[in-house]
Structure 1
């Protein structure tokens, strides 16, 4: 197993971790990655969809292999105690995007330096605002599809605290759930808390609606289907003697099947209307229901995923295990659909080496999450071998290998 890093990779990782940036604000992060990739012979295009960038290594006609990594961080105060902990108040890389970036850049640099590199093109997509669920769409709606050749294959990887460092896991078929984000906004005159009979208590409305929404999975979703409905945020600005004049709820829905998704969306609409009526509020007036971000589910092409697992095990002596789909979501699915190409998405274990598979603490999206130090080299090697296998045609069907795509005019 060859686990090595470019000489610049550890310092870049520490720098990115110390200086995280939120979605669509990743100016420094994008600049640093653009500088690194330019030095490694990639042609870089910046400013796609805001802070996004694409980089292309062109070695002539052959397979076009794309890989995606994310630029953004999360609004959390880091409490890892690491020497390179975030120096930005209230912002941290709690989902490993800094590691994804350095692993992708490092893998691409190692591939570009190989004298025996097969002909073809490597396309790197560094997207903003994955945590907002809208960065990939912003790039696709901007100039991404014109800036890069159409990929024959799209690769993406993500750290996971649910597997130890040195272990890779993935899912054939549906790998990640679809996600819908809805917003419920209710307004009323407010009033004095000493006069509860003089108006509508919007906090009580929000509390009752939240409880009802949490019954949807148990009462409305068929028992052999899976879904998650949650209310991750309720905002009701007020003061001790003031009844809130406005309340906003964020509703998050995650599903694997389109029929279940449509049923839940309809049920949420029904419950919001019913709770508005009970509270004496007019739906469509006092109460508004807005459908925000939609992120499609991530689909792995089963045969390609099987081939990649075999490559990882043969070239790196790394275990690449099959796991059930996860209720996490990733808007790389938007890029997969925009390009219309097959894809493989896998997880890189970031827990203590030799540990068990399964939920552990601290997990991603918590203020104490920090990948094990061995994870960066593992992720770099895993992506390197995936890129090489893609260029060599080892992840393609025989018909695809015999008919490489033509260069764009």
Structure 2
């Protein structure tokens, strides 16, 4: 690894105008265009084409259609390490309420998690590194990943042979926009994000007329008991020093008020940090669902389908400390701190072949006026009060466009040969 101070100086030299503050006009235009035209998971055709076009223009060998809508660009520049930079591309089924002049033009779809920022950072970092080939040696691989939000995007790229079709990485880097006053770059060595699993439940009842409930087995009431009982799993079956969340985010049943339906459907999300706790909680969810259905006298057992989602994200501790040092040199003392372990989840780690170190950090993006007027005194109080990821009001400050490019460029330069 190059010394942190050397990497920081070199990064500034090859990214003039990309410091904190007003971003270059072309960068803002690209970002705002992506924000206006969000696309859902595995539908990122326009976004992928925009990224691929910029990579080709910069001299990358580009492969389209990896895992349907993924993009991989390869730039070979002599002998040396192979570095992968990853950015996810998909938006969310959220109706935007920011009122921005460049707000989404697609009904019910919004870049509410900052993936438009991620693509912008990725494209500009690739261009900057391509234009400064004389400063490094090795191979740079840029990965535009589909479907992080829906889950399965990284796994689909692996299934499509990304580890075999492209140069194997010596290090993998990624980053994410996060709520927090602009100007900070949180890092966490080791475990930083939790595992996430979805459980689909179908409760089978006996439908009938709303005036004769005694002739039915009401799946709505049974499913309501399931929802309530699931709240006891964390409180009574998990040790207090373990961080676990069980959320019922979907409850669908019936068509009108005077008909008792024949079934009810639930969508349950489970987030855990420990493999044994993960197994125990998923087993408990199944047991609760089956027990409530048996108690209600349902005509047949429920359908319980576990859909494994994202694994834990565990940064290589040494790599994270080294990149954190680079970012500290680049942006100044106090701008880098340990974010701690979060219950959010990501499929980023699946892109790293077994044994390959990776590092994943954050770029805070809340505009200063929004942060300053948010209630609370402590950092976490304010962070909880400002619009965060997945909010219809999520609106990153444009001043983070340039620094987010520099974080990726500096991470790559720290590994690529001098």
Q: How does 1:7-406 map to 2 (within 5 A)?
A: 8-161=26-179, 163-281=180-298, 285-317=300-332, 319-336=335-352, 338=353, 340-353=355-368, 357-358=379-380, 359=383, 360-392=385-417
Range 196-205 or range 73-82, more displaced: 196-205
- State the SS of the aligned residue for 1:68: strand
8 Å Cα contact 1:6-1:110 kept in structure 2: no
State how far apart, in whole Å, the 2-side matches of 1:273 and 1:237 are: 21
8 Å Cα contact 2:206-2:219 kept in structure 1: no
Alpha-carbon distance change, 29 to 339 in structure 1, aligned in 2, over 3 angstroms: farther
How far the C-alpha of 1:10 sits from its partner, in A, is 1.5
Q: Tell me the TM-score normalised to structure 1 length.
A: 0.92
- State the SS of the aligned residue for 1:321: coil
State how far apart, in whole Å, the 1-side matches of 2:223 and 2:200 are: 12
How far the C-alpha of 1:6 sits from its partner, in A, is 6.3
State how far apart, in whole Å, the 1-side matches of 2:257 and 2:25 are: 57
State how far apart, in whole Å, the 2-side matches of 1:357 and 1:379 are: 21
8 Å Cα contact 2:210-2:260 kept in structure 1: yes
State how far apart, in whole Å, the 2-side matches of 1:212 and 1:340 are: 40
8 Å Cα contact 2:155-2:350 kept in structure 1: yes
State how far apart, in whole Å, the 1-side matches of 2:183 and 2:84 are: 23
8 Å Cα contact 1:166-1:349 kept in structure 2: yes
Alpha-carbon distance change, 6 to 341 in structure 1, aligned in 2, over 3 angstroms: farther
- State the SS of the aligned residue for 2:416: helix
Aligned length: 389
Question: Mind listing any 5+ residue stretches in structure 2 that lack a counterpart?
Answer: 1-11, 373-377
8 Å Cα contact 1:54-1:147 kept in structure 2: no
- State the SS of the aligned residue for 2:110: coil
8 Å Cα contact 2:204-2:301 kept in structure 1: yes
User: Corresponding residue for 2:6?
Assistant: none
After superposition, the CA RMSD in angstroms is 1.6
- State the SS of the aligned residue for 2:336: strand
State how far apart, in whole Å, the 1-side matches of 2:75 and 2:389 are: 32
How far the C-alpha of 1:389 sits from its partner, in A, is 1.1
CA-to-aligned-CA distance 1:200-251 (integer Å, 9 cap, x gap): 1111111110111111111110111111111111111321211122211111
State how far apart, in whole Å, the 2-side matches of 1:382 and 1:171 are: 15
Q: Tell me the TM-score normalised to structure 2 length.
A: 0.90
Higher helix share: 2
CA-to-aligned-CA distance 1:360-382 (integer Å, 9 cap, x gap): 32111010111012121121111
State how far apart, in whole Å, the 2-side matches of 1:27 and 1:42 are: 19
State how far apart, in whole Å, the 2-side matches of 1:366 and 1:293 are: 25
State how far apart, in whole Å, the 2-side matches of 1:135 and 1:380 are: 23
Question: Mind listing any 5+ residue stretches in structure 1 that lack a counterpart?
Answer: 394-409
8 Å Cα contact 2:294-2:301 kept in structure 1: no
How far the C-alpha of 1:7 sits from its partner, in A, is 5.7
How far the C-alpha of 1:3 sits from its partner, in A, is 4.9
State how far apart, in whole Å, the 1-side matches of 2:275 and 2:161 are: 29
- State the SS of the aligned residue for 1:17: helix
- State the SS of the aligned residue for 1:107: helix
- State the SS of the aligned residue for 2:379: coil
How far the C-alpha of 1:147 sits from its partner, in A, is 2.4
- State the SS of the aligned residue for 1:215: helix
How far the C-alpha of 1:187 sits from its partner, in A, is 2.4
State how far apart, in whole Å, the 2-side matches of 1:258 and 1:236 are: 33
CA-to-aligned-CA distance 1:130-171 (integer Å, 9 cap, x gap): 01111110110012122211101110100111x211100021
State how far apart, in whole Å, the 2-side matches of 1:226 and 1:14 are: 37
State how far apart, in whole Å, the 1-side matches of 2:305 and 2:290 are: 13
Alpha-carbon distance change, 326 to 149 in structure 1, aligned in 2, over 3 angstroms: same
State how far apart, in whole Å, the 2-side matches of 1:3 and 1:305 are: 26
Alpha-carbon distance change, 363 to 217 in structure 1, aligned in 2, over 3 angstroms: same
CA-to-aligned-CA distance 1:298-344 (integer Å, 9 cap, x gap): 010111111111101113326111121110000112112x4541010
